[in-house]
Amino acid sequence: MIRYLSYVLALLAGAALSFEGAIYGELGKHIGELETSFYNFFMGSIIVGLLWIFFGKGNISYVVKAPKWTMLGGVLGVVYLTSIVVSVPFVGIGMTMAAIIIGQMIMSMVIEHFGWLGSMKSKINKEKIFALIAMVISLILIN
Amino acid sequence: MIILMILFTLLGGITLSAQSSINGAFGRNAGTLETTLLTFITGTMFLAVFILFFGQGNLSALFEAPKWQLSAAFLGTMYLLLTVIAVPRIGVIATSIAGIIGQLVIGMFIDNFGWFNSLVLPLDWKRMTAILFMFIALYFVYKGNKRSSHETEMKTT
């Protein structure tokens, strides 16, 4: 049950990202792209900070003990946003999204296949390759 | 130049999946809200330095921007929170693909209705077929994931 729910949550996460992208596109015209990213992270810190104060049950002091590379999550998010901002004017939004999605899918499989970056090891198999092919077909259809 | 840009964008996608797995691993030890908070705070700090050096926009225009545009921050937060919840349960690849599908399907709806001043691109048969293929992909990921986690369990027991 929790499994199915997690798939639904991941779908919702993507849906949120789409709305966010469309709205930030408008905001970016007024205040600039980097500034929009900054606003996103800054407000995000405040929102989650508040949530954490009220509902945080985890162990924030783990931050000091954790290996330093696990702190890179936020930086990587910045690389992602910047790569979009830089390449859209050159290759267009369609090509940009397709390249990002393909990079993300292939890398996810490789990461899990080897169990890198603390992920649970999960071998690449026939079904996953089929899934990748189906996604490439739908990207071609959209563009 | 174009090829270089496409490679650069591929790198963008790669960092996104790396972020998901790093955050998933961190979340198992520190908790979901804690991980999301850390990601936002470090991201804010890096962008602050970036803007000081390269910022060309006008940050103070933020106060004049319409509130509906500012509300997108809640969506950004939701995305990260949900990803951190999903990765430890269904893995990086399933979270990525399900996330991408949600993104593309809603993207097509936004295009179809021309919401948020976007270009109006109707939901034609090609795009409908694309949605069909995406759900086929989701089915295969679910299947593939189930099989490989089954195989790992067999080995460990």
CA separation for the pair A128, B121 (Å, rounded): 31
pLDDT of amino acid B147 = 81
* Domain boundaries, given as residue ranges, for chain A: 2-142
Yes or no, beta carbons of B69 and A26 under 8 Å apart:
yes
Of A22, A52, A117, the CB nearest to B33: A52
Per-residue pLDDT tens over the stretch B142-152: 888 888 777 76
Q: Residues of chain A whose pLDDT is less than 50?
A: none
Of B14, B54, B134, the CB nearest to A107: B14
Yes or no, beta carbons of B41 and A15 under 8 Å apart:
no
Residue B49 forms part of a structural domain: no
Yes or no, beta carbons of B89 and A76 under 8 Å apart:
no
Could you tell me which chain B residue has the CA closest to the CA of A79?
B12
The residue among B4, B68, B23, B146 whose CA lies nearest residue A117 is B23
* Residue B149 belongs to domain spanning: 2-37+66-156
Yes or no, beta carbons of A44 and B141 under 8 Å apart:
no
- Site from B2, B3, B22, B49 to mutate, A interface, most A CB atoms within 10 angstroms: B22
Q: Residues of chain B whose pLDDT is less than 50?
A: none
pLDDT of amino acid B110 = 85
The residue among A116, A88, A19, A75 whose CA lies nearest residue B48 is A75
* Helix B92-113 / helix A2-31 crossing angle, nearest 10 deg: 50
Could you tell me which chain B residue has the CA closest to the CA of A13?
B79
Yes or no, beta carbons of B68 and A9 under 8 Å apart:
no
pLDDT of amino acid B27 = 83
Q: How many structural domains does chain B have?
A: 1
pLDDT of amino acid B132 = 93
pLDDT of amino acid A45 = 93
Residue B123 forms part of a structural domain: yes
Hey, what are B67's tokens? Answer: 């509130």
- The ipTM value here is 0.81
Per-residue pLDDT tens over the stretch A31-60: 887 888 889 899 999 999 999 998 888 888
Per-residue pLDDT tens over the stretch B112-122: 888 877 777 88
B43-B45-B50-B52 Cα dihedral, nearest 10 degrees:
150
The residue among B139, B31, B135, B35 whose CA lies nearest residue B80 is B35
Mean pLDDT across chain B? 85
Chain B positions touching A21 (Cβ under 8 A) are 103, 107
pLDDT of amino acid B157 = 52
DSSP percent split of chain A into helix, strand, coil, nearest 5: 85, 0, 15
